[in-house]
Structure 1
Amino acid sequence: PESRQWCLDLGAELVVDHFGDLPAQLAEQGVSAIPAIACFNDLDRHYSAMAELVAPQGRLASIVGNKSPLPFQELRDKSVGFFWEYMFTRPRFDTPDKGRQGKILDAVAAMVEDGRVLTTRHEVLGRIDLDNLRTAHRELEAGHVIGKLTLLGFDE
């Protein structure tokens, strides 16, 4: 309930339990196909549901990697595109548009300052030390963290 409300407060129109059956939950709310889906967490777990839910000629994107091979043939008959997004591609590979990285960051900073983009930071665990790092890791591994956990600066 708390994470659902948090999502609604951030502007979500529809919230599902990512541990549950995504297609069934969406069907209950009248959604059978989604034109574009972005995965920000555990691609291996969510790929099948994404492949099932994406609309014909739709788009899938992910910022997280996969541990198992993805069966892309599931997307072929629907003519679905799959896109990876990695924030360091431009500088790492010295792409011709690498200057765009700074423009994107400036635009996001302006949206944050204007209040159009809200932080996803939900909990500050305190200074970064072994105990707080272990706590953060334990919470993240459990998979029930709301938003982002924050550890504050290193001791000098």
Structure 2
Amino acid sequence: MNTVPAVAALDGLPVSDPQSLVDVEVPVPDLRPHDLLVEVRAVSVNPVDVKVRAGLDRQAAPKVLGWDAAGVVRAVGEAVEGFSPGDEVWYAGDLTRSGSNTALQAVDARITSRKPASLSFAEAAALPLTTITAWEALFDRLRLTEESGGTLAVLAGAGGVGSIMIQLAKQRTRLRVLGSAGKPESEEWVRTMGADEVIDHHDLVASVRAVAPDGVEFLFTPNTQGNVATFAEVVKPFGQIVGIDDPHGLDLMPLKARSIAWHWEFMFTRSMFSTPDLAEQGRLLARTAELVDAGRIRTTLTTTIDDFSAAGLREAHRLVETGRTVGKVVVTR
């Protein structure tokens, strides 16, 4: 077997165009010393998938997208430790390498862990990218610990990152957690994830003040554009904000008078720059798997598309592109 089926993008076409994602054959990947060769069983689609696809220039060769995945190890590189063929794994991949929308993918073992035994491949595939993002935001950027108190506002609480961030904050800190929602089904989901209070992101100042009159110490945002002045009103002096989006012309001056700190979180930083602590991503996924198997963290899967093809992935991209999905969309093989 020299090639395997995959789904690829050739150009930054609208998702409604049948050529925006196409079925292709790609070579079986060669393994680097630290790589696993994984038979992919399920992938989830994240906003980064949509963003990369829509921003592509015309490609000389098919570009396989996809980062979240769960599957079975079929081969290991010469420097790999702790994994063997047959292991069931999950991971969020590397933005600089070929993606998970394929039958066989090469991924660095150091950013991989065994998937939770209690989850199906689909349930597991919903979690890695958003879990890494939320974990790094909480524990690396904000430097929260199991002893940390105060109040955290999680904006887009029903989204992929928000859903797992609420759970991690409730399980691994002493924080009071506010989750934002904008419609009844989102509000119900945010409460299910464990939020202490639900706030309305359409009227953030009033809804935060109603439940936290003095403001919050910490705020997470995936939607910064035009909202910095609002954040300055709801975050306490010397508070902290962590953002994950790409706002144009960002002006942070409204935060200065209150000495509010701003942090960026980008979960691909470690793999893009081969940082010395690269293996931290594998370790945090392993710790999350333990929390899942202990019944303390639940999957954020809400929609499953049983069609691992260009058509199935186009539908997943379409759903994520609406910006109105609750939880995560997964495509299974």
Alignment partner of 2:238 out of 32, 38, 57 = 57
Between the aligned partners of 2:229 and 2:311, the Cα distance in structure 1 is 37
Residue 30 of structure 1 deviates from its aligned partner by 4.4
Larger radius of gyration: 2
CA contact (8 A) 2:228 2:255 kept: no
Which has the larger helix fraction?
Answer: 1
> In the alignment, what sits opposite 2:271?
91
Between the aligned partners of 2:230 and 2:327, the Cα distance in structure 1 is 22
Superimposed CA distance per residue, residues 9-64 of structure 1 (whole angstroms, 9 cap, x where no aligned partner): 1101111233x11112222334441100112x3232544432321111011012x2
Between the aligned partners of 1:115 and 1:142, the Cα distance in structure 2 is 31
Which has the larger strand fraction?
Answer: 2
Between the aligned partners of 1:46 and 1:108, the Cα distance in structure 2 is 31
Between the aligned partners of 1:6 and 1:22, the Cα distance in structure 2 is 18
Count of residue correspondences: 150
Change (3 A) 1:135 1:101: closer
Between the aligned partners of 1:150 and 1:10, the Cα distance in structure 2 is 19
Between the aligned partners of 1:151 and 1:31, the Cα distance in structure 2 is 42
CA contact (8 A) 2:242 2:265 kept: yes
Note if 1:133 corresponds to 2:331.
Answer: no
Between the aligned partners of 1:32 and 1:141, the Cα distance in structure 2 is 36
Alignment partner of 2:215 out of 6, 28, 33 = 33
CA contact (8 A) 2:303 2:328 kept: yes
Note if 1:121 corresponds to 2:304.
Answer: no
Q: How high is the sequence identity, in percent, across the aligned residues?
A: 32
> In the alignment, what sits opposite 2:92?
none
CA contact (8 A) 2:187 2:198 kept: yes
Q: Is the partner of 2:200 in helix, strand or coil?
A: coil
Q: Is the partner of 2:319 in helix, strand or coil?
A: helix
Where does structure 1 lack aligned partners over 5 or more consecutive residues? Answer: none
Q: Is the partner of 1:27 in helix, strand or coil?
A: helix
Between the aligned partners of 2:200 and 2:310, the Cα distance in structure 1 is 32
Between the aligned partners of 1:24 and 1:100, the Cα distance in structure 2 is 39
Amino acid at match of 1:24: A
Note if 1:43 corresponds to 2:224.
Answer: yes
**CA RMSD across the alignment:** 2.1
CA contact (8 A) 1:23 1:32 kept: no
CA contact (8 A) 2:232 2:254 kept: yes
Residue 126 of structure 1 deviates from its aligned partner by 2.5
Change (3 A) 1:142 1:46: farther
Residue 111 of structure 1 deviates from its aligned partner by 1.1
Q: Is the partner of 1:98 in helix, strand or coil?
A: coil
CA contact (8 A) 1:125 1:132 kept: yes
Q: Is the partner of 2:263 in helix, strand or coil?
A: strand
Where does structure 2 lack aligned partners over 5 or more consecutive residues? Answer: 1-183
